[in-house]
Chains A and B, each alone.
Chain A
Amino acid sequence: MSESTHPRRATRSAVARRGYGWLFVVPALAAYLLFVIYPLILGIQYSLYKWNGVGASEFVGLKNYLRVFSDPDLLASIGNAFVLIAFFTIIPVSAGLFLATLIRSIKPGPFSSASQAILFLPQIIPLAAAGIAWSWMYAQTGAVNQLLRAVGLDAITRPWLGDFQTALPAVGLIGSWVLTGLCTVLFLTGISKIDGSLYEAVRLDGAGWFREFFTITIPGLRQEIAVLTTITIIAALSSFDIIYTTTLGGPGRSTLVPGISIYRIGFTQSDVGLASAFGIVLMILVLVCVLPIQRLSKESER
């Protein structure tokens, strides 16, 4: 209203107000620049040098990046990170989808809210604690082997985290344990948004559980699927806490992941340049995996 009566003054004050609005952004922007963007630039700079963190540094161009892609240990850790996507993303998201459809019929009440709380518990405890809990589950005398013996599978009992063949899947399943609950609860919320009459229509059409699942539930949950796939892929590629408290990358390099490699190279072997280069590579890897999902989910909205 004021704009029509005092056009010029209002415009000027609106501009001033909007410019003044930048003051509101300054603290957030300063924190972001100082502790995200500046270290990022610093990391790019380090990645071009050979430096042990203390002495003189030597410019080596892109050599550190070439080493990232030729060192068998580092290649193995990238490979392992992609294997972990199966356990951190594919298992939790698909299990979450099936669970959510199966339990959507359960009426709200103490049982359903208690189950939500329990499903959320792995999200509440630190990943490092999940690592400690599961190292004990997987130990030679632990619950997993105890269960196998009880059903007569003595032959396959072993220290699961100490075995070259089983260590990576064992660590991966810890991730599945942590993330499945989150996926289930988020999908349940998503399903509650889907118009119930859609389900009734497809049922009256004589559709079974499968057709209902693929024609109504999955399309209705596109947004949630995109969000959860993104979150869990980032969790898989940048896993650190669980591996650190269970295997530290061993045995051999069977559970080595980029986070652990960066930590080891940077702080144990003091090769700051190589560790920084690997950090940049990891960041790009995450972006390359995550951006297409974002784009796909945006396109399917149209």
Chain B
Amino acid sequence: MIVNRSEAIIGRVVLIVVLVLTLIPLLNMISAALQPADENPVGLSWPTDPQWGNFAEAFQTGHVVELMSSSALIVIGVVPLSLLFGTLAGYALGNLRIPGGRFLLIFLVLGLTIPFEALIIPLYYEMQGFGLLNTQWAVILPLIGLYMPFSVVWMRAHFVNVPRELSEAARVDGATTLQEFRRIQLPLAVPPLSALAILLFLWTWNQFLLPVVLISDPLKRTVAGSLTYFQGQYSSSIPLLNAGALIIIAPAIVVFLIFQRQFIKALLQGAVKG
């Protein structure tokens, strides 16, 4: 690759500026969180006497344990089922090429662009009808449906590219469709499945609209949905609000840093294949 020296330097400088801009709002949260809880903090500055106790206080008064377990419950309700349903349907559409599959695919793709806001009012009354309002089910069930178009389309894109000879070979050997699916197709689908799992985890964990509307008790929401509760509770203390918000977003950041490689690798894999 031919690249000028000056270009390389400009590139680096610009990148560093952008990285700093990206980090400042987060660092600013940390700086606010370490100021004395009963004062209005001023701008971005490292406090002379960092109040690490703010985190402890926000952890306790913010019911963080309850919030985290509620979020975890919702994630456990949504992600495995979405993966399972999405994989089964993706296999049927991509590999088995079921009759009417094209029509079904278009039907699902249409759902990809529906904003959740367009469905939130009827979903509220649907959940009320089921008697599920104010329970985690009111978020779990709709999310499985709402994520289904993406999950199916994502998994179908994988199965369409698996060589058909593989299925034919398995069938000649007398494998049933179910056997072939479990023994041959599933192991091959692990990379797209894990990428999908990460995406679904993040989207569920960060889901805001549904929990805010469908669950009135903030302690039963996702962590993102519970942030409004923090805003209400700590409206008079910017340091505690920021401390609470930081605790709330930390697990997702940790998970991201652990799986960062897989996440970016999944993106890059698509690049290599293309």
A-side contacts of B187, CB under 8 Å: none
Mask, B228-257, CB within 8 Å of A = 1, is 101100000010011001001100110011
Q: Which of A35, A113, A200, A287 contacts B146 (CB 8 A)?
A: A35
Identify which of residues 123-141 in chain B touch chain A, using a CB-to-CB cut-off of 8 Å: 123-126, 141
* Contacts between the two chains (Cβ within 8 Å), count: 299
A-side contacts of B223, CB under 8 Å: 126
Query: Interface residue count for B (Cβ, 8 Å)?
Result: 100
- Is B190 positioned at the interface, with any CB of A under 8 Å from its CB? no
A-side contacts of B26, CB under 8 Å: 121, 125, 133
Mask, B20-50, CB within 8 Å of A = 1, is 0111111011001000000011111000000
CA of A275 to CA of B124, assembled, Å: 12
Mask, A115-144, CB within 8 Å of B = 1, is 111111111111111101110110101110
Q: Identify whether the interface residues of A are mostly helix, strand, loop, or mixed.
A: helix
CA of A42 to CA of B142, assembled, Å: 14
CA of A237 to CA of B224, assembled, Å: 20
Residue of A nearest to B234 (CB): A132
Q: Would you call A126 and B206 a contact (CB within 8 A)? A: yes
Q: Would you call B145 and A134 a contact (CB within 8 A)? A: no
Q: Would you call B149 and A36 a contact (CB within 8 A)? A: yes
Q: Would you call B242 and A136 a contact (CB within 8 A)? A: yes
- Is B189 positioned at the interface, with any CB of A under 8 Å from its CB? no
- Is B116 positioned at the interface, with any CB of A under 8 Å from its CB? yes
Q: In the complex, how many angstroms separate the beta carbon of A95 from the nearest chain B beta carbon? A: 8
A-side contacts of B161, CB under 8 Å: none
Q: List 14 A-B contacts (CB under 8 A).
A: A24-B88, A24-B96, A34-B141, A35-B141, A40-B122, A125-B253, A126-B249, A126-B252, A128-B228, A133-B26, A241-B209, A244-B212, A266-B124, A282-B118
- 6 tightest Cβ-Cβ pairs between the two chains A and B: A35-B145, A146-B43, A238-B115, A126-B224, A28-B89, A21-B96
